[in-house]
């Protein structure tokens, strides 16, 4: 069994409801157990400023799936939620699920990079990750609570309906 960390985000439709639905869907994936989830955070969009704020969270799961199989499950959940991946890397979206880290695993392929390459630069990822795994040491990156503290909480606020 491996422990994995997944970032969740949405800024179209009803973002908080979509993240909650995604967490429920993750809990139903065979060979995956949802262990913890962070609070929801409201964050300004990364990329074009003319889009709604995001709702972001992170969850911790235990799984027998390989990182590649887990990524396929995440992409299937995005599609089921209505997300169509496009060339617009920073555009608005109904659901975004990113595999951040799988303990004991590293990847550098066109399909999957582990740990996620932007993990140390994004407080909307590190703050919720620190909520579920503050002492997590990410190889060649650092300890999550220290990284989150270094970036601070600028632009983050609790999600309110």
Per-residue model confidence (pLDDT) at position 33: 96
With the CA atoms of 160, 126, 38 and 90 taken in that order, what torsion angle do they form, in degrees rounded to the nearest 10? 60
Query: Of how many residues is the chain composed?
Result: 161
User: Exposed (0-12), middle (13-18) or buried (19+): which is 45, by Cβ within 10 Å?
Assistant: middle
The pLDDT profile of the chain, 161 residues, written as one tens digit per residue, is 999 999 999 999 999 999 999 999 999 999 999 999 999 999 988 777 788 999 999 999 999 999 999 999 999 999 998 876 665 566 678 899 999 999 999 999 999 999 999 899 999 999 999 999 999 999 999 999 999 999 999 989 999 87
Q: Which domain holds residue 124?
A: 2-158
pLDDT at position 136 = 97
Name the residues annotated as catalytic: 83, 93, 96, 98
d(CA 141, CA 41): 23
User: Burial, 34: exposed, middle or buried (Cβ in 10 Å; 0-12, 13-18, 19+)?
Assistant: middle
| Sign of the four-CA dihedral 70, 76, 78, 84 | positive
Q: What is the CATH number of the domain that holds 120?
A: 3.30.70.560
pLDDT of residue 89: 60
What is the tally of structural domains in the chain?
1
């Amino acid at each position: 069994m491996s422990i994995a960390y997944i970032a969740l985000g949405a800024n179209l439709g009803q973002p908080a409801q979509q993240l909650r639905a995604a967490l429920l869907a993750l809990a139903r994936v065979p060979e995956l157990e949802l262990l913890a989830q962070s609070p929801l955070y409201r964050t300004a969009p990364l990329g074009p400023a003319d889009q709604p704020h995001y709702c972001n969270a992170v969850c911790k799961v235990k799984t027998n799936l390989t990182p590649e199989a887990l990524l396929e499950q995440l992409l299937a959940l995005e599609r089921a939620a209505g997300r169509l991946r496009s060339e617009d890397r920073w555009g608005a979206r109904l659901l975004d699920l990113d595999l951040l880290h799988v303990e004991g695993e590293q990847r550098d392929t066109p399909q999957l990079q582990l740990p996620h390459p932007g993990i140390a630069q994004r407080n909307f990822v590190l703050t919720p990750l620190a909520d579920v795994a503050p002492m997590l040491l990410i190889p060649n990156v650092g300890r999550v609570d220290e990284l989150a503290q270094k970036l601070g909480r600028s632009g983050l606020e609790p999600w309110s309906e």
